Amino acid sequence: MQKLFNVLNKLMESGEYARLKDELNSEQPVNVAEYFEELTAEKQLFVFRLLTKDMAADVFSYMDSDTQEHIVHSITDREVRNIVDEMFLDDTVDFLEEAPANLVKKVLRNTDAETRKLINRFLNYPENSAGSLMTIEFVKLRSSMTVATAMKQIKQTGTDKETIYTCYVIDDQRKLIGVVPLRTLICASDDETIEELMQEDIVSVLTTDDQEEVANIFKKYNWMALPVTDTEGRLVGIITVDDIVDVIEQETTEDMEKMAALIPSDEEYLKTPVMILAKNRIVWLSLLMVSGTLSSMVIVRYSSLIETVVILSGFIPIITDTGGNAGSQASTMIIRGMALGEIQLKDVLKVVWKEIRVGVICGLALGLMNMLKMTLVNSDAGFWVNLSVSVSMALVVVLAKTIGCFLPILAKAFKLDPAMMAGPLITTVVDVIALIIYFTLAAIFVL
Amino acid sequence: MQKLFNVLNKLMESGEYARLKDELNSEQPVNVAEYFEELTAEKQLFVFRLLTKDMAADVFSYMDSDTQEHIVHSITDREVRNIVDEMFLDDTVDFLEEAPANLVKKVLRNTDAETRKLINRFLNYPENSAGSLMTIEFVKLRSSMTVATAMKQIKQTGTDKETIYTCYVIDDQRKLIGVVPLRTLICASDDETIEELMQEDIVSVLTTDDQEEVANIFKKYNWMALPVTDTEGRLVGIITVDDIVDVIEQETTEDMEKMAALIPSDEEYLKTPVMILAKNRIVWLSLLMVSGTLSSMVIVRYSSLIETVVILSGFIPIITDTGGNAGSQASTMIIRGMALGEIQLKDVLKVVWKEIRVGVICGLALGLMNMLKMTLVNSDAGFWVNLSVSVSMALVVVLAKTIGCFLPILAKAFKLDPAMMAGPLITTVVDVIALIIYFTLAAIFVL
């Protein structure tokens, strides 16, 4: 990429604008969009005006929102109109969702009434819904058409569509009645009708369906596009697989952030202000800190034991940490398994029973290893202390695994997000139990 | 889905096999494959034989590997030949990669020599490489062809291709010289040549490239297919976007598992034996346990202080846990940001400076909150103990954030996987530092 940028920069410095223009317009739009991020605001505008109408719209849709806003702010109304004309509606809407009000106005006053109406409808779909993802530039066919007529229509209007590779058949009420892949049309003979060729067994989503559901359908069927209908079954748009790749990334990032006790955010890390980052973290940190008070209470209850055998306090972190780690392992596998649809609510008993067995194996192994290690390294702690630590560790691992797999499933049963029940929360819960087990055993063994 | 299964089961029980056959063959293959998982081994075979040749191959490619193996084991050589003939080569290879040797032999002896050679070549590509993902059923055109000739060829051979929507242009040495989307062909006039229409600025990958790299290219360009060449630039296959969705899921699962101190595994949770699950967990649990010995050493060093002010031990978990959580938050954001390509190695200073500021804000807030909480709840601990805990907490949060963002970047710089440097490892590192800070401050404030 840097090589391309160097070439472009050189052409700019030496004033070879005609060649610069040629280079820019023959590059991949996404690469040109990346080049903009390297340029000063003034040069951005200059370079943008070297792009052809088509290319300008393509490049614009790949730019980050800061650059987009700068460009729209600086160009003339006429130029705005050109871009909006060429852009797919869903890209325009994506830009408008982030843009400040004055730029939204500038764009809207440069679109015709019909597009403006459409844009407004799109802006009203809930965030992360199928409606907010879809595009309206798709191929509509009628069931009475012959293949020849259909192909002629596709040939004439194809360049303006987001995809022509899946075509949708609607009736007079705009209801979706069939789907025909372009491949079927190409391999059919000219006089066959769409009705004979179309698949009538259609999977579609509603405008209000959540994007995660939409992504799951794509993952299951391996399709390239999915139709979106309103509640009356009328076809209003389609979603293409390239947008789903982004949805999957976004949903996974959200899960990971929740699993690390963060409030999820859509913004890129480097572009998020420090105050926002801090805010997204403090909420859970303080909640977990306050619930950590329970651990203190357990320890304080056993302070006379600790006073007598002070070395017991030395093994608090190793027991709580091992418990936390064992629990996080289990919860991560279950949360991910549920997100991928591999684990269902009905599997709860199977999962718990599996984790108990895994826990027993891990617990025994770690307990024995710990006993061996402590006998060698912490021999001054004495046999009974070492035994307390090792047995607690074994028990804590079993319990942590059980809790770690059970809480995410419980969350799901209560329609909460299982991702919440990950490492940090599990650790806090397991800590309290681990400490109770440890000190109870120590009181029995050591005193 | 259950509704469909009920319909099919009813037809089977009442012996309406003709209708059952119709129903099965008009369903989505992926749904029929799911139905197989509900059936007994005997019924699986019976139902499989009701499927048409085409459908049988499609359904087979969606089945889980146990069912696939059972089917191939039970059917005749002739039936094996039919399925392999109809299946896309990459699906056959996927099956063979998992299958036991006797079934591999059964499949190979039922394929012609040329396919067998191809299959063997595919089986030799490294796991998770572009070569192991690609398919060889794609449209090859010559630059001298006219649009009419090309369309005729596509029409004749299109049904056997994995995709016809992107066509690849090769020269006499099978070198890739251009790419033409089908859309361009459709919208062009019949007598234009491929040479005039094809894009010569091609992005391609090598058979040996890692699938993560391939996925990143798809994410960047939003394409539907990507050509794969050998080191001499000869076109050997293509990768389609539907396979990339699986790669993205797989890579993310791997990251999450590493972040939870698990050894990653490709198998579904419910299908993984308990012993394997335990093995994948014990390695990191025991490593972290052993390195946790450092925390014990720190506490033991301060045992005379704890003997004097035993209540100090009560706040060990709350300080180490908060530190661990703060560090996990930072490391998760950085690991994910690097996986998505939003954070680069060169951003290290920007990131660390950002995390220090976030850490100071979070640290101050938590320290103050903790002081308030302890003054109200743990008033018997005394002002100086409360102050030690609160100040340590503030300092630990800042340090944890810094370590949490720095270690993943460091791992990347050393070409290790940043996902390793997540919650569990960060917690263990932060624990030691947190304890040193806490007891040093306590020794100053309390004694």
Alpha-carbon gap, residue A195 to B61, rounded angstroms: 29
- Looking at residue B169, its pLDDT comes to 92
pLDDT band at B227; cut points 50, 70, 90: very high
Q: pLDDT tens digit string along A184-236?
A: 888 888 889 998 889 888 889 998 898 888 988 888 888 888 999 988 888 98
What is the C-alpha radius of gyration for chain A, rounded to an integer number of angstroms? 30
Left (φ > 0), alpha (ψ -120 to 50) or beta: where does A296 sit?
A: alpha
Question: Quick count: other Cβ atoms within 10 Å of Cβ A420?
Answer: 18
- Per-residue pLDDT averaged across A267-293, rounded? 83
- Per-residue pLDDT averaged across A234-243, rounded? 88
Number of alpha carbons in the 13 Å side-chain half-sphere of residue A306: 27
More reliable by pLDDT, B113 or A391: A391
**Contact: B186, A151; criterion CB under 8 Å:** yes
**Contact: A310, B315; criterion CB under 8 Å:** no
Nearest to A210 by CA among A268, A285, A272, A129: A129
Q: In B, residues 142-161, which contact A (CB 8 Å cutoff)? A: 151, 154-155, 158-159
Q: pLDDT tens digit string along B126-181?
A: 888 888 888 888 888 898 899 888 888 888 887 778 888 889 999 988 899 999 98
Distance of CA A203 to the CA centre of its chain: 23
Alpha-carbon gap, residue A405 to A290, rounded angstroms: 24
All residues of chain A having their beta carbon less than 8 Å from the beta carbon of residue B358 are: 274, 277-278, 281
Q: pLDDT tens digit string along B70-83?
A: 888 888 888 888 88
Nearest to B151 by CA among A190, A361, A338, A392: A190
B235: helix, coil or strand?
strand
Terminal Cα distance for chain B, rounded: 69
- Looking at residue B399, its pLDDT comes to 93
Query: A395 with A363: CB under 8 angstroms?
Result: yes
Return the DSSP state at A237.
E
Would an 8 Å CB–CB cutoff place A362 in contact with chain B? yes
**Contact: A358, B249; criterion CB under 8 Å:** no
Nearest to A154 by CA among A117, A122, A184, A111: A184
**Contact: B303, A289; criterion CB under 8 Å:** no
Would an 8 Å CB–CB cutoff place B259 in contact with chain A? yes
- Per-residue pLDDT averaged across A298-325, rounded? 86
Nearest to B331 by CA among B389, B263, B400, B264: B400
Q: In B, residues 200-239, which contact A (CB 8 Å cutoff)? A: 201, 203, 218-224
Nearest to B303 among A201, A285, A311 (CB): A311
Exposure letters A99-126 (e unless 16+ CB within 10 A, then b):
beeebbeebbebbeeeeeebbeebeebe
Query: Which value does ipTM take for this structure?
Result: 0.75
Main-chain dihedrals φ then ψ at residue A148, nearest 5 degrees:
-60, -45
Nearest to B187 among A159, A165, A290 (CB): A159
pLDDT band at A100; cut points 50, 70, 90: confident
Query: B166 with B224: CB under 8 angstroms?
Result: yes
Q: Which residue of A has its CA nearest to B381?
A: A300
Q: pLDDT tens digit string along A35-75?
A: 988 888 888 888 888 898 888 888 998 888 888 888 888 88
**Contact: A277, B358; criterion CB under 8 Å:** yes
- Per-residue pLDDT averaged across B230-254, rounded? 87
- Per-residue pLDDT averaged across B419-426, rounded? 81
pLDDT band at A417; cut points 50, 70, 90: confident
**Contact pairs from chain A to chain B, CB under 8 Å:** 347
Per-position DSSP letters for B31-84, written without gaps between them:
HHHHHHTTS-HHHHHHHHTTS-HHHHHHHHHHS-HHHHHHHHHHS-HHHHHHHH
Q: pLDDT tens digit string along B2-17?
A: 788 888 888 888 888 8
Which of A259-268, B30-39, B364-373 has the weakest average pLDDT? Answer: A259-268
- Looking at residue A356, its pLDDT comes to 92
**Contact: A299, B292; criterion CB under 8 Å:** no
> A155-164, A230-239, A415-424 — which one is most confidently predicted on average?
A230-239
Tokens standing for residue B90: 């990459």
Main-chain dihedrals φ then ψ at residue A158, nearest 5 degrees:
-55, -35
Q: In B, residues 28-67, which contact A (CB 8 Å cutoff)? A: 28, 30
Alpha-carbon gap, residue B133 to B125, rounded angstroms: 9
Q: Which residue of A has its CA nearest to B353?
A: A274
Tell me the sheet residues that pair with A228: A205, A237
- Looking at residue B398, its pLDDT comes to 94
Whether the per-residue pLDDT at A160 is higher than 80: the answer is: no
Exposure letters A365-403 (e unless 16+ CB within 10 A, then b):
bbbebbbebbeeebeebeeebbbbbbbbbbbbbbbbbbb
For chain A, list the domains and their CATH numbers. Answer: 2-124 (1.25.60.10), 139-248 (3.10.580.10), 292-446 (1.10.357.20)
Alpha-carbon gap, residue B210 to B130, rounded angstroms: 6
Tokens standing for residue A290: 């306050």
